[in-house]
Structure 1
């Protein structure tokens, strides 16, 4: 197996990316890692490992670049070359912590869309109180959606959770303003009907935003606009809550003393809500495996994302999604 990594994307590239790959390379000796980027800038962080290859390029996509234009014009950019490796069959997956829009564009224009998938989806794993997390689709690849898109999101999310988390029948929930089947917009009502009628997924009905972190479902589907708002609200709330707790614990000498006794528990909560322990956001609906690592990823987060991509390849995500598509097509033909 080969994994292609854009070493130049992200807030702390190439250091964090290269160091993360070094950690992963030691753990996964059966996998070959292809690092795409400036070998001079990567050199200080590289170790002599037999399963790490360097593909030199000085061109990269900046966070300020126009996504589509950058992918089309910067043919030798590290991100584009990593995506091309998947397209050409030289690698089974590619990872980047760089420009999200550019990676989505590279996924669509370079790797290509999976046959039968109407819309791709950006799918991060979001922490839950019990530590298991849930997959959210779509978190921003498309601002709007149709009912049939949400059905496919449920199928793709289920295939991922089954392969990576080893859950045989993942619970799929539809994000809505109430749990009743007749609640919501025309989109959610029509999507409910499609999801409920499908035998391909284990649909558990509507779920409300307030219940998401309680682990009410393993996969939650919604349109990209709503999903992105939910994702950023959760990220912002979690970050600010930890700041508030830290402030309260250090406000007075007495609170500092109390903080010492609570330190272990606070760190456990922090780890539970730490994105770096859950991997990156998957770009589902493409003909190959593409994973977006968080822009501010440290070495640990990169290593976790690499492991995630390996599990996706070993779990045959693409094949499982194709099987679900075929089964859905057969159901539609039978019902006509």
Structure 2
């Protein structure tokens, strides 16, 4: 375990900005004695919020004033060109310089992707970064889903690389030697899917570093069949947000049903411990923090509408990735794969 961690936070990103990120930052340093946070954003707003929480002079909360903000409506290319003094850009530059070991932002996903790609660069041999996050399953262990929207369209080699990176992240997070990897498809039969999916499947089959288990369907996502599920960013983003919508619908229907009859309310009181335990398992806040893997640094993307608790979860996810040395392990694995031509993705593609 590292003796000390330093993480840069984009305090201005997301729907709530400092209203969410400041309480989360205060909670994080109070909870973790080895953590220092670099707060990137408007010094005036940050100082005001810290003062409200009696944490203005906390020695492990260091303000880095930024004069610009990347808004949710800002075009990624424009943000990259014109927002060099933004809280998002400064947080990434702190990672590049080595002053911080990771960055967390709830800001514009497209802008974060472009900026992180430009500032931090890709690890050797990796084509594109991918967003990966844990999703709850029927079993104790979650499944890691990627890509969640960083890359709308992917070729076979990119999907193959996602499989390798996802396997490393899941293996380190769950202490699994050979995480089970599946490709998300319209059917489990080998004849299903388009050529890109089929080519990626062949690459994974031929690579011993991947414990490839074949195709899985959307209905398999929560079954625990796989430890890692690989898909294009368009598919992954839609799948994840659909799951979140279904979870909210179930909670809404459940709450509405409880209000209809006094018997249901009494029953709910009796079942309260079970309900709380179940909600804790599926509460999306604890899974907040999608990692942008494949870069020469650690970047964690928080939900734009993250609560204080959810933003804290993203900070803690960044801390865990620093301790697990995820970029270094991804680089080492790709070096191992490309050192053997018979297993390299390029030779498999030809």
Q: What TM-score bracket applies, with the shorter chain setting the length?
A: over 0.9
Decide whether the 8 Å contact of 1:137 with 1:220 is kept in 2.
yes
**Where does residue 123 of structure 1 map in the other structure?**
132
Decide whether the 8 Å contact of 2:206 with 2:343 is kept in 1.
no
Q: Equivalences for 1:40-59 in 2 at 5 Å? A: 40-46=44-50, 47=55, 48-59=57-68
Moved more, 247-256 or 228-237: 247-256
Q: Equivalences for 1:43-192 in 2 at 5 Å? A: 43-46=47-50, 47=55, 48-192=57-201
1:261 aligns with 2:270: yes
User: CA separation in 1, counterparts of 2:242 and 2:42?
Assistant: 36
Report the alpha carbon displacement of residue 253 of structure 1 after superposing the two structures with TM. Answer: 2.5
**Where does residue 33 of structure 1 map in the other structure?**
37
TM-score by length of 1: 0.95
User: CA separation in 2, counterparts of 1:259 and 1:274?
Assistant: 18
User: CA separation in 1, counterparts of 2:140 and 2:49?
Assistant: 32
1:228 aligns with 2:237: yes
Cα 1:50–1:168 shift into 2, 3 Å: farther
User: What are the ranges of 5 or more consecutive residues in structure 1 without an aligned counterpart?
Assistant: none
**Where does residue 302 of structure 1 map in the other structure?**
311
Decide whether the 8 Å contact of 1:242 with 1:270 is kept in 2.
no
1:161-185 residue CA offsets vs partner (Å, 9 max, x unmatched)? 2223322221111112222333222
TM-score by length of 2: 0.91
Q: Secondary structure at the match of 1:213?
A: coil
Equivalent residue in structure 1 for 2:19, among 15, 29, 44: 15
Equivalent residue in structure 1 for 2:9, among 1, 5, 8: 5
User: CA separation in 2, counterparts of 1:324 and 1:147?
Assistant: 19
**Where does residue 338 of structure 2 map in the other structure?**
329
Q: Equivalences for 1:190-201 in 2 at 5 Å? A: 190-201=199-210
Equivalent residue in structure 1 for 2:249, among 240, 255, 259: 240
